[in-house]
Amino acid sequence: MASELRAAVIGLGWAGQQHLKAYLALPRTTVTAIADPDPVLLGRIQQEYGIEQAFTDYREMLEWGEIDVVSVGTPNFAHAEPTIDALDHGMHVLVEKPLARTYAEGLRMVQAAERNDRVMQVMFNQRFRPDVQVVKRFIDDGGLGDVYHAKSRWLRRSGIPGRGRKWFVSKELSGGGPLIDLGVHMLDMALYAMGEPKVEAVSGASYNTLGQRFVTDMYGEDAVYEVEDFATAFIRVEGGRTLALEASWATYRENGDFINLMLYGDRGGAEMSTRNYQSQGAVRFYVDSGGVPAEVAPEVPASGSGIPGHQQATAIFIERVLGGEYAQHRGREGLLRTWIIDAIYHSASEGREIRLAELKDQA
Ligand SMILES: NC(=O)c1ccc[n+]([C@@H]2O[C@H](COP(=O)([O-])OP(=O)(O)OC[C@H]3O[C@@H](n4cnc5c(N)ncnc54)[C@H](O)[C@@H]3O)[C@@H](O)[C@H]2O)c1
């Protein structure tokens, strides 16, 4: 494997641009090409970052071929096709979250990574928040003992993704609402913190009560809000452990982005609670100190402005590609998250608990 990797990015909205910036900042990657069907956006990004090759059709870019690793930052409905194409061209893929809209779609992507023996990683940048990293270090150090319950939430009072990105509110194009969009990050964060326990069954409920008002304002009378605006789920993991998950784009509550992870263990508890992405002061540990209940406020490095983590996740992806051992990195972790989310939607519509194995039988 070459010591310098040639990277390309497909889909140049906010997410794709974060991948582009991450590759440009890494010492062992160069960006050789970009692709987006919007010629105006494509030309602007090409000029701004001085990228040599730009394509309105990603397939032509893959045929051109001077690429080792590809990022896929397209809308959810357009994750599978470019990912599978790139893997079949022998490239490694870093695809935006969620991996796919359904378990069956995600499985096809994993199978492509497996048959080509390539890395496929899903962009779970939120786990690299400085506050989550502090919690993770404390858990790995044994600070919580055995974690038997976690609660993981990302809630907005009014935060349906904005104008020009109408695909977010179409069930067919996005696969769902805040659960698949924000909830998948919180699911990732919790499973990562809990040490990747085996997930057995889910029970979920979803609501579409407020979303229509917002999309009528955003897109006019004809716009239809097809996805949930709030979802809640109860997830059973191995050994009787449990996880509670919530996500909303619209609920009557305080304004802003509220991200909250709570973990209860037999030696301690941890809470990460942040408003609008700020990490400082976001973490508390609850322990016994000298036989006395104590609350610890660890120092957490500032998160800087905006959504963190793309840089760290991209660096790990590149390390895995350069490492040359791909068997553990062919997208199974991302597939599990998509599988759980898909099962929660099934549970919500059928009104019953769903065992993950049931979806496997349908795929
Ligand atoms: N990890 C994060 O923090 C984060 C944040 C925002 C969005 N996302 C994810 O990133 C993805 C994109 O979200 P966004 O907000 O940037 O969307 P967006 O709609 O703003 O941008 C998507 C871009 O993809 C292009 N595109 C559409 N179909 C394409 C195709 N077939 N080939 C190539 N390009 C195509 C569009 O022209 C557009 O420029 C979604 O899956 C979303 O869930 C992740």
**Please, which residues bridge with residue 206 across strands?**
231
CATH number at 79 reads 3.40.50.720
Distance between CA 97 and CA 329 in Å, rounded?
Answer: 15
Helix (H) or strand (E) holding 34: strand 29-35
Distance between CA 237 and CA 336 in Å, rounded?
Answer: 12
Answer yes or no: do 145 and 268 share one domain.
yes
Residue 304: is its pLDDT beyond 90?
no
CA 67 to centroid of ligand 1, rounded, Å:
20
Sheet containing 268-275: which strands, arranged edge to edge?
A: 292-296, 283-289, 268-275, 257-265, 147-156, 241-248, 230-237, 199-207, 354-355
CATH number at 297 reads 3.30.360.10
Residue 222 buriedness (CB in 10 A; 0-12 / 13-18 / 19+): exposed
- Looking from the CA of residue 185, the nearest atom of ligand 1 is 1
- Looking from the CA of residue 124, the nearest atom of ligand 1 is 1
CA 15 to centroid of ligand 1, rounded, Å:
6
- Domain of residue 95, residue span: 5-125
CA 253 to centroid of ligand 1, rounded, Å:
28
Q: What pLDDT is attached to residue 91?
A: 98
| Closest residue by Cα to residue 187 from 202, 172, 206 | 202
Per-residue pLDDT reduced to its tens digit, 211-237: 999 889 888 888 899 999 999 999 999
Identify the domain boundary among 308, 337, 352. Answer: 308
Q: Which residue out of 10, 14, 59, 303 has the highest number of ligand 1 atoms within 8 Å of its CB and is therefore the one to mutate?
A: 14
Q: Ligand 1: which residue has its CA nearest to atom 8?
A: 15
Distance between CA 298 and CA 309 in Å, rounded?
Answer: 20
Residue 308: is its pLDDT beyond 80?
no
Per-residue pLDDT reduced to its tens digit, 124-171: 999 999 999 999 999 999 999 999 999 999 999 999 987 778 899 999
Q: Domains in the chain: how many in total?
A: 2
Region 96-117: mean pLDDT is: 98
**Ligand 1 surroundings by CB, under 6 angstroms:** 10-16, 35-38, 41, 58, 73-76, 78, 82, 96-97, 123, 125, 165, 181, 307
List the beta strands (DSSP E) in 160-309.
199-207, 230-237, 241-248, 257-265, 268-275, 283-289, 292-296
Identify the domain boundary among 308, 324, 348. Answer: 308
Q: Average pLDDT, whole number, for the chain?
A: 95
Q: What pLDDT is attached to residue 2?
A: 53
Is residue 10 in a domain?
yes
Answer yes or no: do 197 and 171 share one domain.
yes
Look at residue 194 and give its three-state secondary structure: coil
Answer yes or no: do 116 and 142 share one domain.
no
Is residue 341 in a domain?
no
Answer yes or no: do 58 and 115 share one domain.
yes
CA 134 to centroid of ligand 1, rounded, Å:
30
Distance between CA 32 and CA 9 in Å, rounded?
Answer: 9
